[in-house]
Amino acid sequence: MDKLIINGGPRLNGEIRISGAKNAALPILAATLLADGPVTISNVPHLHDITTTMELLGRMGLELTIDEKMNVQVDSRTIREFFAPYELVRTMRASILVLGPLLTRFGRADVALPGGCAIGSRPVNLHLQGLAAMGAELTVDGGYIRATAKRLKGADLMMDLVTVTGTENLMMAATMAKGVTVIRNAAREPEVVDLANCLIGMGAIIDGAGTDTIRISGVESLSGTHYEILPDRIETGTYLVAATMTGGHVKLKSTKPELLEAVLSKLHDAGAEITTGDTWVELEMNGKRPRAVSIHTSPYPGFPTDMQAQFTALNCVAEGTGVITESVFENRFMHVLELQRMGAQIQIEGNTAITTGVAKLKSAPLMATDLRASASLVLAGLVAEGSTEVHRIYHIDRGYETIEEKLSNLGAQIRRVPG
Ligand code: EPZ
């Protein structure tokens, strides 16, 4: 298995381009199952999770063509099976996103029940409850969700919890249901809005995406379209934290700063000078050591849980004490154990990490456990004394396009060693 070797020290400096958002590309790829013509998607990030999703769609019989710029065309007219096998679902939970589209367009789906993962049990009960309320017959048998529906019907769905992929799955299912569906306590993430905009481009009738109440009026069919994926706000935030930790100065292009207001506000509190344009964000630390910040993760527009691990790493080398509370997932502090091995002073109390910053972390061999935790270990390696090895970096490759290339372009001393 590959590993990354990082020599700590250099301040990051320079400009890089941000890729398309993984968490928008995944549901939008699933949405191609709804269209009765080809869907062309541009700005697709080149990530392991994306290739997994394309492999899943290909196995179902869809025709996929990809050009050198990672523009992807998907044509579902050649579909021949409605099955998402365990060996793919276990590597990527977001495969559950094919359930809603398959059910509403073809009336049937056999999808492996996603297991938990390092950050939590991550049930999909709310996805299934919503589909059942829309008239689907669902049984779980041998680790698979067996689902059928003559024709889904519109329903008034009050979500017990804010769930991003739950909202996305049910919104897709509702696009071709009979009648109107209302999703209350809906997720408001920008990636939900991006999916809604793509569906509207296919002919769906959707109001309220981006608010906590989404109304969908079912239509008979959806057509092909072209759609450009929005920039990845979490990748943007991750590189901004890297620059803040190293005291550097970076400019990130092809991004959308308005999507990460909560993150920019915390970076400002940490002492960063930030300027923004519609499609770029610039951060300058002038060599200063960051100040510790306190954070409470919550659904959008609150502080994103996907940025928690990165800010925990920042607090490890910041001045003062920071308190980070993780309220979305039950086990998202796996990176703390690894950071402590580098000399970080972190105390865990329930779902809170209390950090007292140290002047320097010490390099150590580290093991990545989940996507964002592994990013936080790379960030720690950028500022640690000596050479840090991060193992099991397939976690990173799921969500960060060519991370070592982008960091090297910013002056980091980082290389990938094939394992
Ligand atoms: C999405 O996961 C993202 N993944 C996650 O990003 C992100 O961390 C998460 O939303 C929260 O923002 C994709 O979009 C592909 P949830 P999702 O359903 O939809 C509970 C990354 O790093 N819940 O919003 O799976 C759940 O256990 C990944 O890119 C239920 O109880 O998250 C959690 O505690 C990691 N029952 C909370 O809701 C359900 O049926 C929020 O989960 C569904 C969710």
The pTM assigned to this predicted structure is: 0.97
Q: pLDDT tens across 253-275, in order?
A: 999 999 999 999 999 999 999 99
- What letter does residue 353 receive in the DSSP assignment? E
Q: pLDDT tens across 10-54, in order?
A: 999 999 999 999 999 999 999 999 999 999 999 999 999 999 999
**Ligand 1: nearest atom to the Cα of 329:** 34
**What local confidence, expressed as pLDDT, does residue 69 receive?**
86
Q: Which residue out of 19, 98, 122, 172 has the highest number of ligand 1 atoms within 8 Å of its CB and is therefore the one to mutate?
A: 122
**Ligand 1: nearest atom to the Cα of 399:** 29
**What local confidence, expressed as pLDDT, does residue 185 receive?**
98
Neighbours of 259 (CB within 10 A): 25
Query: Ligand 1 centre from 300 Cα, in Å?
Result: 12
Query: Is the pLDDT reported for residue 226 higher than 80?
Result: yes
Reduced to 3 states, what is the DSSP secondary structure of residue 42?
strand
- The span from the CA of 19 to the CA of 230, in Å, is 9
Atom 13, ligand 1: which residue's CA is nearest?
Answer: 23
Reduced to 3 states, what is the DSSP secondary structure of residue 220?
coil
Query: Ligand 1 centre from 22 Cα, in Å?
Result: 14
Q: Which residue out of 47, 125, 126, 164 has the highest number of ligand 1 atoms within 8 Å of its CB and is therefore the one to mutate?
A: 164
Strands (E), 63-104: 63-66, 72-75, 83-84
Q: Which residue out of 22, 158, 165 has the highest number of ligand 1 atoms within 8 Å of its CB and is therefore the one to mutate?
A: 165
Query: Ligand 1 centre from 2 Cα, in Å?
Result: 27
Atom 26, ligand 1: which residue's CA is nearest?
Answer: 122
What's the whole-number mean pLDDT along residues 198-223?
98
pLDDT band at 117 (very low <50, low <70, confident <90, very high): confident
Do residues 409 and 403 lie in contact, with contact meaning Cβ atoms separated by under 8 Å?
Answer: no
**Ligand 1: nearest atom to the Cα of 187:** 24
Which candidate in 5, 60, 64, 117 is catalytic? 117
Tokens of 417: 């060693």
Query: Ligand 1 centre from 125 Cα, in Å?
Result: 12
CA dihedral of residues 40, 45, 51, 55 (deg, nearest 10): -20
Q: Taking CB atoms and a 6 Å cutoff, what residues make up the pocket around ligand 1?
A: 22-23, 26, 94, 120, 122-127, 161, 163-166, 305-306, 328-329, 371-372, 399
**Among this protein's residues, is 316 annotated catalytic?**
no
Give me the residues paired with residue 181 across strands. Answer: 216
**What local confidence, expressed as pLDDT, does residue 370 receive?**
87
Query: Is the pLDDT reported for residue 118 higher than 90?
Result: no
- The span from the CA of 190 to the CA of 170, in Å, is 16
**Ligand 1: nearest atom to the Cα of 299:** 12
Atom 43, ligand 1: which residue's CA is nearest?
Answer: 124
pLDDT band at 116 (very low <50, low <70, confident <90, very high): low
What's the whole-number mean pLDDT along residues 288-312?
98
